[in-house]
Amino acid sequence: MSLRTMGADAVLLVAFIAAAGAGSLLLGQDVNWDLQNYHYYNPWAWWHGRIFNQDLAAAQIQTFLNPLLDLPFYWMVTAEWSPRVIAFVLAIPAAIAAFFLCKLLLLMFGDLPRGQRVVAIASSLAIGVTSAMAIGELGSTLNEWPLAALLMLALWLIARELKRAETGPWSQASSLAWHQAPNLRPPRLPSVCAERCSSVARTRGQPFAHASPTRYGSGWP
Identify which of 96, 98, 94, 103 has the alpha carbon closest to the alpha carbon of residue 5: 103
C-alpha separations of 132 from 43, 165, 200, 208 in Å:
28, 37, 9, 22
Domain ranges, ordered by start, for the chain: 3-216
Whether the per-residue pLDDT at 203 is higher than 70: the answer is no
Which has the higher per-residue pLDDT, 189 or 94? 94
Does the pLDDT value for residue 26 go beyond 60? yes
Q: What pTM was estimated for this model as a whole? A: 0.75
Q: By C-alpha distance, which of 33, 161, 25 is closest to 90? A: 25
pLDDT of 188 over the 80 cut: no
The dihedral through the CA atoms of 212, 214, 89, 133 has a sign that is negative
* Mean pLDDT for the stretch of residues 36-56: 86
168-184 and 144-165 are packed helices; what angle lies between their axes, rounded to 10 degrees? Answer: 140
Check pLDDT > 50 for residue 186. Answer: no
Q: How many CB atoms lie within 10 A of CB 136?
A: 22
- The least confident of 34-48, 63-77, 129-143, 207-221 is 207-221
* Percentage of the chain exceeding pLDDT 90: 48
Query: If pLDDT is split at 50, 70 and 90, which confidence band does 30 have?
Result: confident
What is the pLDDT, as a whole number, of residue 208? 66
Span 166-174, average pLDDT: 55
Mean pLDDT of 54-79: 89
